[in-house]
Chains A and B, each alone.
Chain A
Amino acid sequence: DAGVIQSPRHEVTEMGQEVTLRCKPISGHNSLFWYRQTMMRGLELLIYFNNNVPIDDSGMPEDRFSAKMPNASFSTLKIQPSEPRDSAVYFCASSLATGHSNQPQHFGDGTRLSIL
């Protein structure tokens, strides 16, 4: 079975540019999570969706970040404009149930983002 698929795997761009990260969750999963991982701050939950609806976006750092889930098989995380401090590995994960549940999450391999 295909796992969570993220694209691109690596992205290098100049500050000020728009960045779009993509995620395809596991088929049948109804919750989707976006995380950011850095050495300094560890793993941070940015936003999660349940049944394509954003439930908690309190982790989104600022208005430059936005996330959408137009259907059950696709989500995007957009940064506009990007800044060097946004450089990190961004993970998407999906699971069978809502947050605060007893179901494990399945992670993609991440997008390594470098903003110059």
Chain B
Amino acid sequence: GNSVTQMEGPVTLSEEAFLTINCTYTATGYPSLFWYVQYPGEGLQLLLKATKADDKGSNKGFEATYRKETTSFHLEKGSVQVSDSAVYFCALSGEIFGTGTRLKVLA
């Protein structure tokens, strides 16, 4: 069946460091892929999405490219800020969520 696997956290980075959070998927067909972000005390919010192979989703400096050949959708940001500290979830087809990766950015 369909599934999503994302890297274990927590990830701790200094401000302005480069971020990668890995996400791989198993799916039949051509599902859409999503990244959500959850700030403390809040629900999940859609961060970005990609609907087909080679699509790149981007928002707030974050990017992820839908790679069919490697079944991956890694989240990247060139320079993280303290305000990016949150939990990030990779998701498949709208409701199959990964386990979440906590990011902590230090000033």
Q: In the complex, A35 Cα to B100 Cα: how many Å?
A: 14
The reply to whether B44 and A91 contact each other, CB–CB distance below 8 Å, is: yes
The reply to whether A107 and B45 contact each other, CB–CB distance below 8 Å, is: yes
Cβ of B74 to closest chain A Cβ, rounded Å? 19
Q: B97 — nearest CB in chain A belongs to which residue?
A: A43
Interface of A is mostly: loop
Interface hit among A60-68, A70-78, A79-87, A98-106: A98-106
For chain B, residues 14 to 71, give those with C-beta under 8 angstroms from any C-beta of chain A: 31-32, 34, 36, 41-46, 49, 51
The reply to whether B43 and A104 contact each other, CB–CB distance below 8 Å, is: no
Contact-size category for B: 20 to 34
Chain B CB within 10 Å, residue with most, of A93, A99, A105, A106: A105
Q: In the complex, A33 Cα to B34 Cα: how many Å?
A: 17
Is A45 an interface position by the 8 A CB rule?
A: yes
Given contacts A42-B99, A43-B89, contact A101 B94 (CB under 8 A): yes
Contact with B43, one of A45, A48, A109 (Cβ below 8 angstroms): A109
The reply to whether A42 and B93 contact each other, CB–CB distance below 8 Å, is: no
Cβ of A105 to closest chain B Cβ, rounded Å? 6
Q: In the complex, A110 Cα to B100 Cα: how many Å?
A: 17
The reply to whether B95 and A109 contact each other, CB–CB distance below 8 Å, is: no
Interface residues of A (CB under 8 A from B): 4, 33, 42-43, 45, 48, 91, 93, 95, 97, 99-110
